[in-house]
Amino acid sequence: MDRRAFLLTTAGAALAAPVVARTPEAALQDRLEQLRVEAAIPALGGALVTPDGLAWQGASGLRRADGDTVVTSADRWHLGSNTKAMTAALYARLVEQGRAEWGASVPRLFYDLDLHPGWQNVRIEHLLSHRSGILDSIVMPVWMLIAREDLDVRILRNRLAGDVLGDAPGEVGGFSYSNAGYILAGAAIERITGEPWEDTMRREVFEPLGMASAGFGAPLGDNAWGHQRTTLRPRDPAAPIADNPAALGPAGTVHASLEDYARFLRVFLTGGGGWLSPESLDILTRPAAGPPPAYAAGWGIVASAPWAGSRPAFTHDGSNTMWLARAVVAPGRNAAVICVANAAEPARGAVDALTRALIEHLPVR
């Protein structure tokens, strides 16, 4: 999972694009194909989302670099760290149900563990905004090995919580992108609900939003495959190396079709769409206090950009090193953009260019 998986430092350069006349759908598909061919990647997809649904979606290329089956818009794409915004929204959903609360301290969330006193003033918001003092560089290398053990994911997440919270945190309030922090947030959700994070995600997010294609890990079945980072060798989704360990779920294992991912993004264009309240959306997209970068709960915030309109936009990238996904949500333009590929670093330039093309196609307000 790419710990630099969001557009903050590149928000101005990679996304800045002039607002021009609406591009015909055929021209967008042609541009999609051109970008994929130039990048020499197996498949590339994209979508333009409005409050009413998909204004456009397209896909180009092959499901596997060594095959001849054409990818489709209905294929499921691994979203990597874009899962984080879903985990944060799931917590907001539990708050609205009266089962959780904003401002909950780490000692309260992990009442059953023996915690270092330094966690006393660390709260759920710190975990969701990467400001809890948890350093992936210290925590994740060892725990990634542990996470491959054949144990229940709740046991593995609980082991991580015990190991991390038994020691003092690092700099609380400073920004350090932390997958471990989101795994702990998932472990906190499991304590609240009494069931695996995956089960709660299905019931509280996927089902009410109609995300029938959504699931966890590398998508199986009649679908595109992810590809190894440097050689673009296709990875069998049934193999353990096709994704990060399942225990990392809350930080980045969701997959979905373009249409179903759009259903989640539409929540942020429709005042919650009856699934979350506007007040919850404000909390989820409000940058946390502290030094740069501006980051909220699973979203990097772009405070001002010519293409974003009158309101801040928010964005995130996700990758498990075999797939790449990007979401850009521009409430000031009443639209969102999705870009996906079944390769990672080799696809980044194509995703940047496709993002610009789709931003040019945003509705004029």
Residues 228-256: tens digit of each pLDDT: 998 999 999 999 899 999 999 999 999 99
Report helix, strand or coil for 175: coil
Of 169, 197, 225, the residue that ends a domain is 197
Q: Which pLDDT belongs to residue 35?
A: 98
Q: Which of 74, 84, 2 is nearest to 43 (CA)?
A: 74
Q: Which pLDDT belongs to residue 365?
A: 63
Residues 35 and 105 in one domain: no
Task: With respect to residue 94, please indicate whether it lies within any of the assigned structural domains.
Answer: no
Domain of 317 in residue numbering reads as 11-86+214-359
Residues 218 and 301 in one domain: yes
Q: Which pLDDT belongs to residue 16?
A: 47
Residues 166 and 22 in one domain: no
Of 145, 167, 197, the residue that ends a domain is 197
- Give residues with Cβ within 8 angstroms of 138, minimum separation 6: none
Residues 223 and 248 in one domain: yes
Residues 247 and 332 in one domain: yes
Give the percent of the chain with pLDDT over 90.
89
pLDDT band for position 142 (cuts 50, 70, 90): very high
Which position has the higher pLDDT, 66 or 6? 66
For range 265-294, the mean pLDDT: 97
Q: Which structure tokens are listed for 283?
A: 């909390």
Rounded Cα–Cα distance for residues 303 and 18 (Å): 17
Residues 53 and 135 in one domain: no
Global pTM value: 0.94
Task: With respect to residue 170, please indicate whether it lies within any of the assigned structural domains.
Answer: yes
Q: Which pLDDT belongs to residue 171?
A: 95
Quick check: 364 pLDDT over 90?
A: no
Task: With respect to residue 92, please indicate whether it lies within any of the assigned structural domains.
Answer: no
Residues 219 and 353 in one domain: yes
Residues 166 and 19 in one domain: no
For range 207-222, the mean pLDDT: 98
Task: With respect to residue 5, please indicate whether it lies within any of the assigned structural domains.
Answer: no
Task: With respect to residue 2, please indicate whether it lies within any of the assigned structural domains.
Answer: no
Quick check: 3 pLDDT over 90?
A: no
Task: With respect to residue 307, please indicate whether it lies within any of the assigned structural domains.
Answer: yes
Q: Which pLDDT belongs to residue 232?
A: 96
Task: With respect to residue 284, please indicate whether it lies within any of the assigned structural domains.
Answer: yes
Q: Which pLDDT belongs to residue 24?
A: 62
pLDDT band for position 41 (cuts 50, 70, 90): very high
* pLDDT tens-digit readout, 335-355: 999 999 999 999 999 999 999
The mean predicted confidence, pLDDT, of the chain is: 93
Considering its fold, how many domains does the chain have in total?
Answer: 2
Task: With respect to residue 203, please indicate whether it lies within any of the assigned structural domains.
Answer: no
11-14 own/partner pairs: CB under 8 Å, 24+ apart: 11/300, 11/302, 11/305, 11/315, 12/302, 12/305, 14/352, 14/355, 14/356
Residues 174 and 233 in one domain: no
Quick check: 116 pLDDT over 80?
A: yes
The helix-helix angle for 348-359 and 25-39 (nearest 10°) equals: 160
Quick check: 262 pLDDT over 90?
A: yes
pLDDT band for position 304 (cuts 50, 70, 90): confident
Residues 30 and 134 in one domain: no
Give the percent of the chain with pLDDT over 70.
93
Of 167, 197, 227, the residue that ends a domain is 197
* pLDDT tens-digit readout, 13-28: 444 444 444 446 889 9
Q: Which of 360, 307, 359 is nearest to 332 (CA)?
A: 307
CATH code where residue 284 lies = 3.40.710.10
Residues 289 and 340 in one domain: yes
Q: Which pLDDT belongs to residue 285?
A: 98
* pLDDT tens-digit readout, 153-211: 999 999 999 999 999 999 999 999 999 999 999 999 999 999 999 999 999 999 999 99
Residues 182 and 291 in one domain: no
Which position has the higher pLDDT, 23 or 287? 287
Q: Where are the beta strands (DSSP E) in 164-281?
A: 215-216, 226-227, 234-235, 254-257
Q: Which structure tokens are listed for 106?
A: 């780490």
